[in-house]
Structure 1
Amino acid sequence: MRAFLDARQAGHDPQMFMANGVMLPNPEKPERIAVLRAGAEAAGAVFEPPRDFGMGPIAAVHTAEYLTFLETIHPRWKRIEGAAEEVIPNIHPDRRQANYPKSAVGQAGYHQADTACPIASGTWAAAYWSAQSALSAAEAVAGGAGAAYALCRPPGHHAFADLAGGFCFLNNSGIAAEWLRARGLRPAILDVDVHHGNGTQGLFYTRGDVLTVSLHADPERFYPFFWGAAQERGEGAGLGFNLNLPLARGTDDAGYLAALGTALQRIRSFGADVVVVALGLDAHEDDPFQGLRVTTEGFTRIAAAIAGLGLPVLVVQEGGYLQPALGGNLTAFLRGLG
């Protein structure tokens, strides 16, 4: 299997994030790359650097205003006397139609949904090359590869068109899906991260040309809280083209695979000819976030079920955090595809 990764993706090294009012070490660390790479290689993946598609495919789903913010905010932030090393917002507007301030502090609040997406000196380059890795894997699939893997880090599925959140800055899965759609394909995005893919849903919520499906821990008491309910089905032209399958906390392999069957049937009904899998390995029973209880063997079964669609599969890495089974979970999933 062809796989894509750029060394600059390690340049984003977030130090802290806030949970329950407490500043904690950020779990989305560069060390994830080595573990995930080893897991992919154990499944036979061969890594190559991505090519540079430029800003066009990124700007196809993200606003120019937001991309300017991401690229320039850190040096602007550092001009504030006494500012922290990382850009972390302390105020947020109550609506997206609010005044757009010139202040770096105000713009951080406008474009960062929470305190889990700190921006430092290496963040923009890492996010940019993470997106280029997803695009390169999309190109491989469009060119005839049955499957390709993008080791996207930082991840992306919580990023909206103009909003970062939950460790995510650029929506890699959405960028890849839109690139595939522009080339005449009919993509479905299947998000299997433990957290709802709220940014991905937001990108395509009013559109009927990209199907979005997410299996995740029920957001009633789990991040991202405000998105991911079953009644969110899309709006306007997108009504019926978004499917959320919230799962009870602690759902095991059997429960997960039952819900996955519903997801795969929707993908068949959509007539997809390519599947973008937003792969979160944080549904595992030993992941630090403890949302679901999928086993390592469960990831093999999930991948085998997806492979049963008989469609090309682009795997875009999302969550999954440092714990002993992380690399083996990726190996299990990629082997299940083949």
Structure 2
Amino acid sequence: MKTFHAEEQKRHDPKMFLSSGAPQPNPEKPERIERLLSGARAAGSEIIRPRDHGLKPISAIHTPEYLDFLQNIFLRWQRIEGASEEVIPNIHPLVRSGRYPASAVGQAGYHMADTACPISADTWGSACWSAWSAVEATEAVLAGERSAYALCRPPGHHAFADVAGGFCFFNNSAIAAQHLLGSSKRVAILDVDLHHGNGTQGIFYRRNDVLTVSIHADPVRFYPFFWGHADERGDGEGLGYNLNLPLPRQTADAGFLEALSAALRRIQSFAPDALVVALGLDAYEGDPFGGLSVSTQGFSRIAEEIAALGLPTVIVQEGGYLCDALGDNLTAFLTGYAST
């Protein structure tokens, strides 16, 4: 399986985020890339640099207003006397109505869901190359590859069409799915990250051409809290095209695989032409976030079950944070997928 990744994705290096109100070192560090590249190489994957695909595939998902904000907010922020080193919001609208603030501070609150996605001088470029990695992997699948892996960093599944959040700026999985729709009539997204892919759900919630399925830790006491519950089924034309499978904390391999069986049945019922897997490795039992308890071998079994669908598949990296087994978990997933 080919891996697509650009070195520019390392430049985004957020310094902090707030956890329970306290500043903490941001866990979405560039070192994640080295661990994941090591894991991809151990699986026998060829590392390929993506091309610059411009804004067209990104703007197919994200609003021009949001893209303008993200590209220019850091320079605007530097003009504010006494402002923080990185763009971090300190106000959020209770209701996002049609009114749009002119202030950089107001726009930061409007376009950033939380404090986990600080914006620096390098964020825009890294986020673009992350998205282009997803686009390039999609192009490979459209050209006939059975599957391709996009080593996307920063990740993407918490980003809505016009809101960053949870370490995410561009929704790479959604971008891949939309790009697949250029030649496919129906695409499914399967999110196996520890956290619910709330941005992905939000983007496709009223659509019936993309089925969104997410297996994740129950959000009743876990990020992202306000999305990811089992009764969220879609709306309008999208009603019945969203499936959430929240799991109790510390669910291990057996429970995760049981939920995966339900997810795969729903995907088979949708009969998609192609699949996007939003691959979070943070469901691992030793991940710093500690929400679920999937083993390294468990990731191999998850991959085998997904591969058995026989669908052209774009695998997009989401979470998975610094621990000794991060690379091994990716190796297990990629080799498990290739073995089926």
- TM-score tier by shorter-chain length is over 0.9
1:56 is aligned to: 56
Residue 335 (structure 2) pairs with residue 329 (structure 1): no
Structure 2 CA distance, aligned partners of 1:62 and 1:277? 20
Partners of 2:71 and 2:16 in 1: CA distance: 21
What does residue 11 of structure 1 align with? Answer: 11
The CA distance in 2 between the partners of 1:169 and 1:286, in whole Å, is 26
C-alpha deviation, 1:82, in angstroms: 1.3
1:209 is aligned to 2:209 = yes
Tell me the CA shift for residue 185 of structure 1.
4.3
Displacement of 1:115: 0.4
Q: Once the two structures are superposed, what CA deviation does each residue of 1:209-258 show, in whole Å capped at 9, x if it has no partner?
A: 00100000000000000000000000000000000000000101000000
1:154 equivalent in alignment to 2:164:
no
Contact 2:192–2:280 under 8 Å retained in 1: yes
Q: 1:98 to 1:185 in 2, by over 3 A?
A: closer
Structure 2 counterparts to residues 1-338 of structure 1, below 5 A? 1-97=1-97, 99-338=99-338
Amino acid at match of 2:206: T
Give SS of 1:102's match.
Answer: coil
Give the number of equivalent residue pairs.
338
Per-residue deviation, 1:83: 1.1
Contact kept in structure 1, 2:184 and 2:274, CA below 8 Å: no
What is the CA–CA distance in structure 1 between the aligned matches of 2:52 and 2:16, rounded to whole Å?
A: 30
Quick one: distance in 2 between partners of 1:263 and 1:226?
Answer: 21
Structure 1 residue 294: deviation in Å? Answer: 0.2
TM score, norm. by length of structure 1:
0.99
Q: Aligned equivalents of 2:306 and 2:195: distance in 1?
A: 19
Q: CA-atom RMSD, angstroms?
A: 0.7
Shift of 1:21: 0.8
Letter in 2 for 1:283: A
Cα deviation digits, residues 16-59 of structure 1 (max 9, x gap) = 00000110000000010011001011001101111122111111
Identity among equivalent positions (%) equals: 66
Q: Deviations over 1:241-276 (max 9, x none)?
A: 000000000101000000000000111110112110
1 CA distance for matches of 2:208 and 2:185? 13
SS in 2 for 1:39: helix
CA distance in 1, matches of 2:96, 2:177: 25
* Distance (Å, rounded) in 2 between the aligned partners of 1:83 and 1:24: 19
CA distance in 2, matches of 1:115, 1:315: 27
Q: Secondary structure at the match of 1:202?
A: helix
Name the SS of the counterpart of 1:182 in structure 2: coil
Q: Which amino acid aligns with 2:38?
A: A
In structure 1, runs of 5+ residues without a counterpart are none
Structure 1 position 305, deviation (Å): 0.2
Distance of 2:4 and 2:255 partners within structure 1: 32
Task: Name the SS for the 2:181 alignment partner.
Answer: helix
Q: Deviations over 1:46-82 (max 9, x none)?
A: 0111112211111111100000000000000011111
Residue 170 of structure 1 aligns with an amino acid whose one-letter code is: F
Question: C-alpha distance in 2, partners of 1:337/1:240?
Answer: 28
TM-superposed CA distance for 1:85, in Å, is 1.1
Q: Deviation of residue 312 (structure 1)?
A: 1.5
Moved more, 102-111 or 89-98: 89-98
- Look up the equivalent residue of 1:75 and give its one-letter code: L
* CA-CA distance at 1:98 after TM superposition: 5.1
How many Å separate the matches in 1 of 2:247 and 2:172?
24
Q: Give distance in 2, aligned partners of 1:332 and 1:326.
A: 10
SS at match of 2:38: helix
Whole-angstrom distance in 1 between the partners of 2:248 and 2:187: 28
Structure 2 unaligned blocks of 5 or more:
none
Q: Measure, in 1, the Cα distance between the counterparts of 2:246 and 2:167.
A: 21
Distance across 1 between alignment mates of 2:109 and 2:294 = 35
Deviation at 1:336, TM superposition (A): 0.6
Alpha-carbon deviation of 1:187? Answer: 1.2
Q: Secondary structure at the match of 1:37?
A: helix
